[in-house]
């Protein structure tokens, strides 16, 4: 129910203006306007601080719908245009109310301005609304909400004339992958978002389990939860073990509802990938974990019929990504897996366009010096790039 506009919507952001405890402008008296110079805003989100305080959700939601539709159409350039614009508006310390407010800002192309203009004038975007009602968009949205289904599979299903998940389930000629079968089996749980409390509970399980195999291992929560989000679509973990390498099976089978282990494809002398959106080569495990949670007694019906409680499902399926990295690459993996995706994209773009360096989740290569730059912390990576440090909760670009 929290899926909207392509990704789980942080329902809390809707109330943030009310419950926010740290107002943005620092030490300004009421009459003072926070100093903000539009023309000084960097086009790279890695040079901006973007908290979860989004004053422009009206616009960014519309942009994300547009971007998603272009993603489904595989128009990468248009998709990125809207994602970059969304990221700039997420960073703005005030709500946009007139066209003048965006004057001088980067990433505000004509297509983007048209959408902003309409929202400023009409309160909503007819283009975004059109997309939401578009048959192809609606189908792709449903299809990609299944774990293991991406744009390519959706395209295939759509071309076969399938339009809904019911159509897909009814089509017995389709060959579903193991991943997709698990995706359908746990569908309801997986589309309902993961809460911070659930993330903490899973974190304990993962840490305890990893600990029994690798007592010295470092387990860190990454992804949206590390950036301070209160809900997510999955929980991302980074695991590293100082000392000798030993990346064997990490989890008790009983809790693992689904596990797809991707073996490490890392070749030592490999130069960082040029692909801006490249996957990394770490051993990883896309898993679905069984989280036991005694359901709150929200129905007196259950308690009055005690013998029926065995029928009640007392657990929830939760998507967990485990990434195992060699200790030397830990900082790079942490930076990459903390995201946001847009922040990561801009870091890599900045490295290559502004510094002649190549950044990925494994390392940073200086093309002029022809060396890999070592880093033991995220701070060191920012320093290598000549960037001011940006805290995880400021990377919600
Ligand atoms: N990432 C990466 N390489 C990949 C996949 C992801 O570097 N092959 C990074 C980008 C963001 C981060 O990992 C976490 O990915 P998601 O879980 O998809 O994003 P999220 O920000 O955690 O969002 P959500 O809250 O929806 O899980
Ligand atoms: Mg995540």
Ligand 1 neighbour 319 (Cβ under 6 A): no
For the question of residue 189 being annotated catalytic, the response is no
Tokens 């190549």 map to which residue? 358
Residue 234 near ligand 1, beta carbon < 6 Å: yes
DSSP-based three-state secondary structure for 323 = strand
pTM score: 0.83
Cβ partners under 8 Å of residue 98, min gap 6: 120
Is residue 61 flagged as an active site residue? no
Candidate from 275, 339, 343, 345 with most ligand 1 atoms within 8 A of CB, to mutate: 339
Give the active site residue among 10, 189, 234, 346. Answer: 234
CA atoms of 164 and 142, how far apart (whole Å): 7
The H or E element spanning position 322 is strand 315-325
Please report the DSSP string for 233-270 in residue order. SSEEEEEE-SSS------S-GGGEEEEEEE-----TTP
DSSP class of residue 395? B
> Could you list the pLDDT tens digit for every one of the 397 residues in the chain?
343 333 333 333 322 333 334 444 444 444 445 578 999 999 999 999 999 999 999 999 999 999 999 999 999 999 999 999 999 999 999 999 999 999 999 999 999 999 999 999 999 999 999 999 999 999 999 999 999 999 999 999 999 999 999 999 999 999 999 999 999 999 999 999 999 999 999 999 999 988 887 888 999 999 999 999 999 999 999 999 887 554 444 444 456 778 887 877 755 445 555 444 446 888 888 999 999 877 655 554 544 445 555 678 899 999 999 999 999 999 999 999 999 999 999 999 999 999 999 999 999 999 999 999 999 999 999 999 999 999 999 999 9
Cα-Cα-Cα-Cα torsion 50, 51, 53, 54, nearest 10 degrees, comes to 30
Report whether the peptide linkage leading into residue 345 is cis, meaning its omega lies within 30 degrees of zero: no
Residue ranges near ligand 2 (ion) with Cβ within 5 Å: 223-224, 232, 234, 236
């Amino acid at each position: 129910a929290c899926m909207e506009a392509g990704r789980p919507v942080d329902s809390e952001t809707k109330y943030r203006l009310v419950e926010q405890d740290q107002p943005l402008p620092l030490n300004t008296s009421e009459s003072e306007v926070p100093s903000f110079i539009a023309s000084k805003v960097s086009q790279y989100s890695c040079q901006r601080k973007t908290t979860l305080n989004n004053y422009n959700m009206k616009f960014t939601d519309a942009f994300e719908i547009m971007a998603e539709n272009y993603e489904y159409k595989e128009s990468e350039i248009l998709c990125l245009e809207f994602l970059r614009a969304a990221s700039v508006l997420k960073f703005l310390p005030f709500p946009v109310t007139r066209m003048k407010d965006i004057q001088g800002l980067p990433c505000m192309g004509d297509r983007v301005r048209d959408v902003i203009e309409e929202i400023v004038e009409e309160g909503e975007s007819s283009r975004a609304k059109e997309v939401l009602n578009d048959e192809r968009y609606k189908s792709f949205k449903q299809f990609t909400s299944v774990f293991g289904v991406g744009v390519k599979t959706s395209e295939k299903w759509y071309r076969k004339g399938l339009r809904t998940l019911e159509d897909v389930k009814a089509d017995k000629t389709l060959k579903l992958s193991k991943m997709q079968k698990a995706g359908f089996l746990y569908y309801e749980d997986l589309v309902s978002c993961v809460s911070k409390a659930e993330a903490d509970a899973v974190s304990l399980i993962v840490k305890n389990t990893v600990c029994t195999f690798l007592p010295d291992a470092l387990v860190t929560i990454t992804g949206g939860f590390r950036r301070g989000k209160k809900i997510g679509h999955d929980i991302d973990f980074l695991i590293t073990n100082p000392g000798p390498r030993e990346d064997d099976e990490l989890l008790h089978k009983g809790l693992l509802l689904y596990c797809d282990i991707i073996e490490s494809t890392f070749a030592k002398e490999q130069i960082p990938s040029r692909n801006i959106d490249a996957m990394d080569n770490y051993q990883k495990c896309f898993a679905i974990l069984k989280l036991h949670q005694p359901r709150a007694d929200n129905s007196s019906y259950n308690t009055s019929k005690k013998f029926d409680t065995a029928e009640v499902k007392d657990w929830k399926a939760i998507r967990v990504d485990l990434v195992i990295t060699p200790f030397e690459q830990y900082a790079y993996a942490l930076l990459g897996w903390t995201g946001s995706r847009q922040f990561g994209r801009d870091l890599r773009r900045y490295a290559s366009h502004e510094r002649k360096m190549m950044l990925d989740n494994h390392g940073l290569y200086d093309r002029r010096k022809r060396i890999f730059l070592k880093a033991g912390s995220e701070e060191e990576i920012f320093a290598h790039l000549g960037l001011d440090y940006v805290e995880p909760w400021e990377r919600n670009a």
